[in-house]
Amino acid sequence: MEATMTYVIGIVGIVVLMLSWALVQSLWKKTFSENISDEDVLAERRSCGNCGCGKVCKKEKPV
């Protein structure tokens, strides 16, 4: 019984983490909808300089 409960807690924990990440992605997409072109909405912010401006980062020059 204890081993089963351990597996159930692990599986439920993973599902909760996945749903939480989906919520973060959804809220991020709403916040920065005009600047997103990728399905992974956080991928666009990889090179962000964390200036807090909330816009597309001008720190990197386009190639």
Q: What is the mean pLDDT of each run of 10 residues along the chain (63 residues)?
A: 93 97 86 69 60 61 51
CA 45 to chain centre: 10
Residue 53 pLDDT: 63
Residue 19 pLDDT: 97
Rg (CA), the chain: 18
Cβ-contact 24, 31 below 8 angstroms: no
Q: What is the DSSP letter of 36?
A: -
Residue 10, token pair as written in the block: 């692990």
Residue 9 pLDDT: 96
Residue 26 pLDDT: 86
pTM to 2 decimal places: 0.56
Cβ-contact 48, 57 below 8 angstroms: yes
Residue 62 pLDDT: 52
